[in-house]
Structures are given as C-alpha cells and as structure tokens.
C-alpha cells in the first residue's frame, strides 16, 4: 500500500532563516506531487505541483520554492522565511493529475515563524 | 470564478445526534466533488468522491448527496461519535482541470460533545 511521509511534524523558525520541508511517498511510481498551505480559517492553497523529476509548477508568487530531486521526493524550501510563511503545510500525491484523480495527503508540518 | 462555499462554518452537536453539512459550488464545467475529513493537526482523509451522475454515496455513517442541477452537495453524519469531531472539507474539480483543477472550501468545523 502507498504511504506518504512528511517531516518535520512541527517547526519553529525565526524570521529570515532558511526552510526545508521534506515529503516522500512509498509504494507507488511516478506520482504527481503537491504542496499546499493551510492558513487558519482558510481553505487549502495549492503552492506547487510536480508531474515528474525536476518538473515544478508554481501556482502563486511567493517566498517559497520547490524541488523534486527523486521520483518520490518533494522538497519545499525558502532562503529567508517571512512571518506570513507561518501555516500548516501539506504534501499530497495522486496517481494522475488531481482534477480527475483522488489525492492522498500527508500528515502535515506545522510551521511557526517568529 | 470557481468557488466552493460551505456552511455552517462551525457546528456543535451532542454525541449520538445526526447532522448535515452543506456545500454549494460554482465550479464549471463540473467533474467531481469530494468530501474530506481533517482531524486537528492532521492531513485530510477522503470520505467520498462523486461524479456528475451520482446522487448519493455512503461510507459507513457518512452519506453524501449531490444535486448537479442546483450545484449543491451535503454530507450527512448519522449517530455521531466523539471521533467525528473534525473539519470537513468539500473539494470540487472542474472538467479538464489538471493539477490545479481543484477548488477547496474552507471547511466546516464539527464538534461532538459527550
């Protein structure tokens, strides 16, 4: 069966510090991968998605970047965190593009920027 | 503009009671509608996914309905349990949409009291 992991589970970082969140998927090949941010009282916002190694699409201009160095690994990064980067970050995968396929979410990372 | 509106924003009911959550959408052309359950601090987990031709779909004590004409969906929870306390998110995808083809509602926060 497929599983999706995220780490760390929680993170507290000062403003201006770098960020690296990791997501890995097991039990499937060539998944589509996604990074979402969930702010309090708001719906999930798609940040990035990837249909293959090295292929990244960005949905919103922001202080963050994503990379996919391996088929089942997706990384969310920042060089300098802002206060507004605080939130709950979710990684997800789907067997095909999300529009027509079910997405499976990871456990999430709670990021607090102070 | 594609939108998904959920109501109520929050709901408190006693254990053992039934409840119904609402989802109205303006997504077009419609592909499918999904209900997710998200426990506090965890990733969303899929409850049901419904296509245009499906009116009702059940998953245990959860029953989702879809009226594609009025663009409304509901999630009915029967004989609520304390473990049903969570946020319930309605997600609608549009036909032809790719990885970014999903519109998320802000969710209904359900609290079950003993």
Query: Mind listing the pLDDT tens digit for each residue in B74-103?
Result: 999 999 999 999 999 999 988 776 666 788
B contacts of A42 (beta carbons < 8 Å): 106
Per-residue pLDDT of chain A (114 residues; tens, 9 = 90+): 889 999 999 999 999 999 999 999 999 999 999 999 998 878 899 999 999 999 999 887 678 999 999 999 999 999 999 999 999 999 999 987 666 678 899 999 999 999
| Residues forming a β-bridge with B109 | B10, B87
Question: Residues A44, A85, A97, B43: is their CA dihedral positive or negative?
Answer: negative
pLDDT of A98? 65
pLDDT of B46? 93
A58 touches chain B (CB under 8 A): no
Measure the CA–CA gap between B73 and B96, rounded to whole angstroms: 21
Measure the CA–CA gap between A3 and A55, rounded to whole angstroms: 22
Closest CA to A34 of A93, A101, A86: A93
What are the DSSP E strand ranges found in A1-114? 3-7, 10-13, 19-26, 32-38, 44-52, 55-58, 65-70, 73-78, 87-94, 104-105, 109-113
- Mutation target vs B (from A35, A38, A56; most B CBs, 10 A cutoff): A38
Measure the CA–CA gap between A88 and A111, rounded to whole angstroms: 6
Taking the CA of residue A58 and the nearest CA in chain B, the distance in Å comes to 10
pLDDT of B98? 67
pLDDT of A99? 65
**Residue B71 · residue B90 · CB < 8 Å:** no
Taking the CA of residue B74 and the nearest CA in chain A, the distance in Å comes to 18
A contacts of B44 (beta carbons < 8 Å): 44, 90, 105
A54 touches chain B (CB under 8 A): no
Q: Phi/psi at A85 (nearest 5 deg)? A: -80, -10
Residue B41: partners with Cβ closer than 8 Å, 6 or more residues away:
A88, A108, A110
For residue A41, count other CB atoms closer than 10 A to its CB: 9
For chain B, which ranges sit under pLDDT 70? 97-100
């Amino acid at each position: 069966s497929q599983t999706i992991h995220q780490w760390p589970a929680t993170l507290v970082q000062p403003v201006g510090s770098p960020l690296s969140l990791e997501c890995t998927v097991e039990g499937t090949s060539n998944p589509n991968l996604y990074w979402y941010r969930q702010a309090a009282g708001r719906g999930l916002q798609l940040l990035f998605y990837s249909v293959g190694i090295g292929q990244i699409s960005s949905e919103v201009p922001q202080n963050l970047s994503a990379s996919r160095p391996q088929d089942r690994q997706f990384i969310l990064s920042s060089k300098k965190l802002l206060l507004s980067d605080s939130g709950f970050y979710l990684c997800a995968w789907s067997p095909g593009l999300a529009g027509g396929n079910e997405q499976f979410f990871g456990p999430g990372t709670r990021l607090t920027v102070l | 503009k594609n939108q998904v509106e959920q109501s109520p924003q929050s709901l408190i009911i006693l254990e053992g009671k039934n409840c119904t959550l609402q989802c109205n959408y303006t997504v077009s052309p419609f592909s499918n509608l999904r209900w997710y359950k998200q426990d506090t601090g965890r990733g969303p987990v899929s409850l049901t996914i419904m296509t245009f031709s499906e009116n009702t779909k059940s998953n245990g004590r959860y029953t989702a309905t879809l009226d594609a004409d009025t663009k409304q969906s509901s999630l009915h929870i029967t004989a609520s349990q304390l473990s049903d306390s969570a946020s319930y998110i309605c997600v609608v995808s549009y036909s032809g949409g790719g990885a970014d083809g999903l519109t998320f509602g802000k969710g209904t926060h359900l609290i079950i009291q003993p």
